C-alpha cells in the first residue's frame, strides 16, 4: 500500500465531485465522493497505529471524516471523528472535528444519498454567503443583542432586499409596472435568504439565497436569485451613498423603486437604531460597520410628501363563512371584521414651530420620518439628532415633535462642556441654524 498515491487518487475524485456539484449534478457528485471517501478511509486506517507520524495522521483522519460526510457515510465518518478527537493534540483540527461531529449528528437519520446532498448543498450555500454581525449600540446588557433588534433588522432588510429583487426581475422579464404586484408572490418564493451559520459575539450570522434550478425556472432568473444577496449587499447595502452614488442610483431606479429599497434600509442605518450592523469584507475578511444614512442623503434619495388623514388609508381584514344550500344559493355570514391603519412617509420640514416659542427657520430643509400604527398612533422622528415623539393624534404628535426638536437645539447650543454625543449633535445643529449664538441663554 502506498498511502500518498491512494490519498492523491482520493483528492482527484473529490475535485471532480466538486466540479459535478457546480453543475448541479448531485448523482455524479455522490458517486465520486463515495469513491474518494473509500480511498481516504483506507489511508486513515493505515495511520491509526502510527502516532509517530503526526501531524500527517491527524490531517488524514480529518480529511477522511469530512469526505465520508460528503459521501453521506455518516457512521463511517463518526469512526474517524471520534478517533481524531481522542488522539489528536492539534487545537485547530480538534475544533474542525467537533464541527464535523455536529454535522454528523444532524445528518444521522438520513439515507446516504440524502445526507450527502444536504451537506453539499449547505456547504455550497456557505461558500456563497454574506457574513453579518449585529451589535448593540450601547452596552447596557453587555454584548447581547435582543430578539427585538434582530426582528427589526430582519424585517427591514427583507423589505429592502425584496424591493431590490423586484426591480431586477422586472427588468429581466420586462414586466410592466401594473403587473408588479402579480409577481410579488413569486419573488417571495425566489428571494428567501437562508441562514447558513450563526454564532454569539454579538450576533454573527451568514445568509445566502437558493441557487438550484427549480422546475420551470428560466436560466436568467436562476442566475439572479442565486446572486441576489451578494448583488444587493455590494450595490445597495454597503453603498456609501456619495453624491455620485446617489446620482447613479437615481438614473437606474424610479422614485418609487428608490423609496421601496432605501426607506427600510434607512431604518437599519439610522443614527438612532439601538443596534449597529457590521459585515465581513469578502476581500480581507475584516469586520466593517455599515455607514449611516444621514438626513442629507435621505433628502437627495427619498421622495417626501405632505400627508393628510385621507392619505393614511385603511386596510380591512374580514373572516367570512360561506355555505352552499340545496338550491344552489350561497349564504355568507360575517364572523370577524377588523380595520387596520398603517402608513409611513418622509415629510419635508423647513421650519420648527414650538408651542410656546417663536418659529425657528432652518437653513436647510430636512426629512422627517412619520409612521402611523393603529396600536401606537403617530410618531415623528429625526434620527440625526435622535429625536422621536409619538401621540395618538397627528396634530399632537407633530406639535410634540416640534417642541422636542426646539428643546434639543437649545440644549445643544447651551451645553457648557459638551460630551462626545453633544459634540456630534452640535455638528448637526450648526448646519441647520444660521445663527446659533442668538439662541444662547
User: Is a pLDDT exceeding 70 seen at residue 107?
Assistant: yes
111: domain CATH number? 1.25.40
Same domain, 39 and 136: no
Number of domains in the chain: 3
Do 229 and 243 sit in the same domain of this protein? yes
Buried b vs exposed e over 60-71: b needs ≥16 C-beta within 10 Å? Answer: bbbbbbbbbbbb
Averaged pLDDT score across all residues of the chain: 84
- What's the pLDDT score for residue 32? 93
Domain span at residue 414 reads: 342-439
Residue 33 sits in the same domain as residue 76: yes
Worst-scoring range by mean pLDDT, 207-211, 383-387, 414-418?
A: 414-418
Q: In this structure, are 134 and 181 located in the same domain?
A: yes
- Virtual CA dihedral for 353, 358, 363, 364, nearest 10 degrees? 0
Q: Are 9 and 42 in contact (CB under 8 A)?
A: no
Beta carbons within 8 Å of 301's beta carbon, 6+ residues apart: 241, 246, 249, 250, 258, 262
Question: What is the reported pLDDT for 161?
Answer: 94
Does residue 309 sit within a domain? no
436 and 413 Cβ atoms separated by less than 8 Å: yes
Q: Do 291 and 150 fall into the same domain?
A: yes
Q: Identify whether residues 152 and 115 lie together within a single domain.
A: no
Does residue 213 or residue 389 have the better pLDDT?
Answer: 389
For the stretch 364-373, pLDDT in tens is 888 888 888 7
312 domain residue, yes or no: no
Question: Last residue of some domain: 127, 144, 160?
Answer: 127
Q: Give the pTM.
A: 0.71
Q: Is the peptide bond before 436 cis (omega within 30 degrees of 0)?
A: no
**Residue 256 in domain:** yes
Indicate if 122 and 134 belong to the same structural domain. no
The answer to the question of residue 62 being in a domain is yes
Q: How confident is the model over 303-334, as pLDDT tens digits? A: 765 554 444 444 455 666 677 666 667 777 76
Whether 107 and 175 map to the same domain: the answer is no
pLDDT for the residue numbered 337? 58
In a domain, 321, yes or no: no
Residue ending a domain, choose from 83, 111, 127: 127
What is the number of alpha carbons within 13 Å of residue 157 lying toward its C-beta?
A: 20
Same domain, 134 and 264: yes
50-54, 167-171, 311-315: lowest mean pLDDT where? Answer: 311-315
Clarify whether residues 143 and 94 are in a common domain: no
Q: Using the 3D structure, point to which of 273, 301, 329 is the last residue of a domain.
A: 301
- Looking at the structure, tell me whether residues 240 and 164 fall in a common domain: yes
pLDDT value of position 399: 92
Amino acid at each position: 500500500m502506498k498511502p500518498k498515491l491512494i490519498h492523491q487518487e482520493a483528492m482527484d475524485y473529490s475535485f471532480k465531485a466538486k466540479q459535478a456539484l457546480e453543475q448541479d449534478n448531485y448523482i455524479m457528485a455522490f458517486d465520486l465522493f463515495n469513491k474518494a471517501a473509500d480511498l481516504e478511509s483506507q489511508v486513515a486506517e493505515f495511520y491509526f497505529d502510527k502516532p509517530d507520524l503526526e501531524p500527517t495522521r491527524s490531517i488524514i483522519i480529518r480529511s477522511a471524516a469530512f469526505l465520508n460526510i460528503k459521501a453521506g457515510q455518516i457512521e463511517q465518518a463518526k469512526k474517524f471523528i471520534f478517533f481524531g478527537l481522542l488522539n489528536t493534540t492539534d487545537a485547530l483540527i480538534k475544533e474542525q472535528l467537533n464541527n464535523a461531529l455536529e454535522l454528523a449528528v444532524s445528518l444521522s437519520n438520513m439515507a446516504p444519498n440524502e445526507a450527502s446532498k444536504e451537506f453539499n448543498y449547505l456547504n455550497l450555500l456557505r461558500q456563497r454567503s454574506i457574513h453579518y454581525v449585529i451589535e448593540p449600540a450601547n452596552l447596557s446588557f453587555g454584548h447581547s443583542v435582543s430578539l427585538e433588534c434582530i426582528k427589526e433588522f430582519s424585517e427591514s432588510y427583507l423589505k429592502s432586499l425584496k424591493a431590490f429583487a423586484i426591480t431586477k426581475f422586472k427588468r429581466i422579464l420586462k414586466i410592466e409596472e401594473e403587473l408588479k404586484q402579480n409577481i410579488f408572490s413569486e419573488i417571495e418564493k425566489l428571494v428567501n435568504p437562508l441562514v447558513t451559520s450563526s454564532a454569539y459575539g454579538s450576533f454573527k450570522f451568514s445568509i445566502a439565497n437558493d441557487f438550484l434550478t427549480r422546475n420551470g425556472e428560466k436560466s436568467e432568473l436562476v442566475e439572479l436569485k442565486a446572486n441576489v444577496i451578494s448583488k444587493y449587499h455590494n450595490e445597495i447595502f454597503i453603498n456609501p451613498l456619495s453624491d455620485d452614488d446617489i446620482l447613479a442610483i437615481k438614473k437606474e431606479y424610479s422614485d418609487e423603486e428608490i423609496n421601496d429599497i432605501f426607506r427600510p434600509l434607512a431604518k437599519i442605518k439610522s443614527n438612532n437604531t439601538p443596534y449597529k450592523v457590521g459585515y465581513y469584507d469578502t476581500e480581507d475578511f475584516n469586520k466593517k460597520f455599515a455607514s449611516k444614512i444621514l438626513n442629507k442623503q435621505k433628502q437627495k434619495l427619498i421622495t417626501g410628501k405632505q400627508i393628510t388623514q385621507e392619505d393614511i388609508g385603511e386596510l380591512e381584514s374580514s373572516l367570512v363563512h360561506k355555505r352552499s344550500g340545496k338550491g344552489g344559493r350561497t349564504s355568507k355570514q360575517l364572523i370577524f371584521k377588523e380595520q387596520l391603519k398603517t402608513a409611513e412617509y418622509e415629510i419635508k420640514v423647513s421650519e420648527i414651530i414650538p408651542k410656546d416659542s417663536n418659529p425657528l427657520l432652518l437653513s436647510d430643509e430636512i426629512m422627517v420620518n412619520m409612521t402611523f400604527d393603529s396600536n401606537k398612533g403617530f410618531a415623528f422622528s429625526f434620527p440625526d439628532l435622535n429625536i422621536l415623539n409619538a401621540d395618538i393624534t397627528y396634530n399632537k404628535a407633530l406639535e410634540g415633535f416640534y417642541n422636542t426638536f426646539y428643546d434639543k437645539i437649545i440644549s445643544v447650543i447651551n451645553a457648557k462642556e459638551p460630551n462626545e454625543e453633544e459634540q456630534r449633535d452640535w455638528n448637526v445643529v450648526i448646519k441647520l441654524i444660521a445663527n446659533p449664538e442668538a439662541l444662547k441663554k
